[in-house]
Amino acid sequence: MSIGQIYKIHSDFYYVNYDGKSYECKLREVLKKTKQSVYVGDFAEFENGAISKILDRTNYIPRPSVSNVDQIIIISAVKEPELSFSQLNRYISFAKYYDISAVLCFNKNDLSFDDKIIEKVFSIYEPLGYDILFTSALEKLGIEEFREVLQGKTSVLCGSSGVGKSSLINSVSGLNLRTKEVSDKTQRGTHTTRHCEIITIDNNTRIVDTPGFSNLKFDFILPHDVDKLFPEINKYRKECKFQDCLHINEHGCAVKEHIDEVDETRYKSYLEFVAEAKEYKEKVKNQGTKTESAHKKYNNETAVKISSRKRQSARNTQKQRIYKDLEDERID
């Protein structure tokens, strides 16, 4: 029996990396019966081409499903496509929600762009504790620094289409992943991989090649939990007059009192995510009686699973909390 890491999944086949070698495996019947999900990144016990056990995960990102990740590297382009702080904040908050550290990488540094961008990037994200990197995959600028950030870790690269993710992977891996023109953007989703795959750079340095992140909407979190994703907003929460303050226009809101200390684009993103969270809460609420029975079912049947597999069920737990929140509202 050996323990290796699943680096690729193709229909029923699970490819396990063990001691630098690849093993094509299937799941044992007993494991299939448990209906346990299996992800790229999972460590598995296997023997003679059969996986019998999936080990506990340290973390997990759904859609695209990948587990045991050390960091998320958020790639943006300084230009072409235009840098979007809104999109950047979304990726940052997403990483924060899954409790995975993030590094910010700004690619296409060879293009001439507004210097104010650099200033703005550092003034917003350095105080929040993020490592910031400027690179050019084209002219090989900052690639050594990029390599250092990756060293000894398993990193997920994320970022919008066309920012240079594949080009950056190529520049440190010697691989030749397909890169494409920005104008291909509209054809997104029709091309390339639909699954995650772990690419080994060296013994303990790995990059997860993802098809991109679908549904990055914050439609699974409670509105008053959104500020937990924004430390610079959350730090004032305890001074707000009302415990359930959403820091929008409530009376006695300490965030609004300190609003000039919060970056404008960050606050705007916060409001956006709160709106998404509210939408979801409304949806759950409108399900009415269905919601209640789902809640009961949840308590009876699935609660045990949650305590033993906490991270994986983060989404379910959120749902449960929304039910609880709605119940509390009914009592109020």
Ligand X SMILES: Nc1nc2c(ncn2[C@@H]2O[C@H](COP(=O)(O)OP(=O)(O)O)[C@@H](O)[C@H]2O)c(=O)[nH]1
Q: How far is the CB of 166 from Mg ion (least distance, A)?
A: 3
- The site string for Zn ion over 237-276 (x = CB under 5 A, - otherwise) reads ---x----x-x-----x-x---------------------
Task: Work out whether 88 is an interface residue with ligand X (CB under 6 A).
Answer: no
Q: How far is the CB of 282 from Zn ion (least distance, A)?
A: 21
Residue 90 or 165 having the CB closest to Mg ion: 165
Task: Work out whether 167 is an interface residue with Mg ion (CB under 5 A).
Answer: no
Angle (deg, nearest 10), helices 85-97 and 264-286: 60
Task: Work out whether 166 is an interface residue with Mg ion (CB under 5 A).
Answer: yes
- Considering only the stretches 98-106, 156-164, 276-284, 308-316, report the one whose residues sit in contact with ligand X under the rule CB under 6 A: 156-164
Residue nearest to ligand X (CB): 164
Q: How far is the CB of 276 from ligand X (least distance, A)?
A: 24
How many residues bind Mg ion (CB under 5 A)? The answer is 2
Task: Work out whether 57 is an interface residue with Zn ion (CB under 5 A).
Answer: no
Task: Work out whether 110 is an interface residue with ligand X (CB under 6 A).
Answer: yes
Looking at beta carbons, which pairs linking 247-250 to residues 24 or more positions away fall under 8 Å? 248/274
- What backbone phi and psi angles, to 5 degrees, belong to 65? -75, 120
Radius of gyration of the chain measured on its C-alpha atoms: 22
Task: Work out whether 163 is an interface residue with ligand X (CB under 6 A).
Answer: yes
Q: Which of 8, 57, 90, 165 binds ligand X (CB under 6 A)?
A: 165
- Considering only the stretches 4-12, 33-41, 160-168, 213-221, report the one whose residues sit in contact with ligand X under the rule CB under 6 A: 160-168
List the single partner that 64 binds among Zn ion, ligand X, Mg ion, none, CB under 5 to 8 Å by kind: none
- CA 26, CA 205: separation in Å to the nearest integer? 26
List the single partner that 245 binds among ligand X, Mg ion, Zn ion, none, CB under 5 to 8 Å by kind: Zn ion
- CA 262, CA 230: separation in Å to the nearest integer? 10
Write out the two tokens for 1. Answer: 């029996």
- Considering only the stretches 6-14, 115-123, 158-166, 254-262, report the one whose residues sit in contact with Mg ion under the rule CB under 5 A: 158-166
For residue 34, give every residue at least 6 positions away whose Cβ sits within 8 Å of its Cβ, in sequence order, or none.
Answer: none
Q: Which of 161, 200, 313, 316 binds ligand X (CB under 6 A)?
A: 161
Report which of 60, 48, 56, 38 is spatially closest to residue 18, judged by C-alpha positions. Answer: 48
- Considering only the stretches 64-72, 160-168, 245-253, 256-264, report the one whose residues sit in contact with Mg ion under the rule CB under 5 A: 160-168
Q: Which of 30, 111, 248, 275 binds ligand X (CB under 6 A)?
A: 111
Residues at the site binding ligand X, with contacts judged by CB under 6 A: 107-108, 110-111, 136-138, 159, 161-167, 179-182
Residues at the site binding Zn ion, with contacts judged by CB under 5 A: 240, 245, 247, 253, 255
Residues at the site binding Mg ion, with contacts judged by CB under 5 A: 165-166
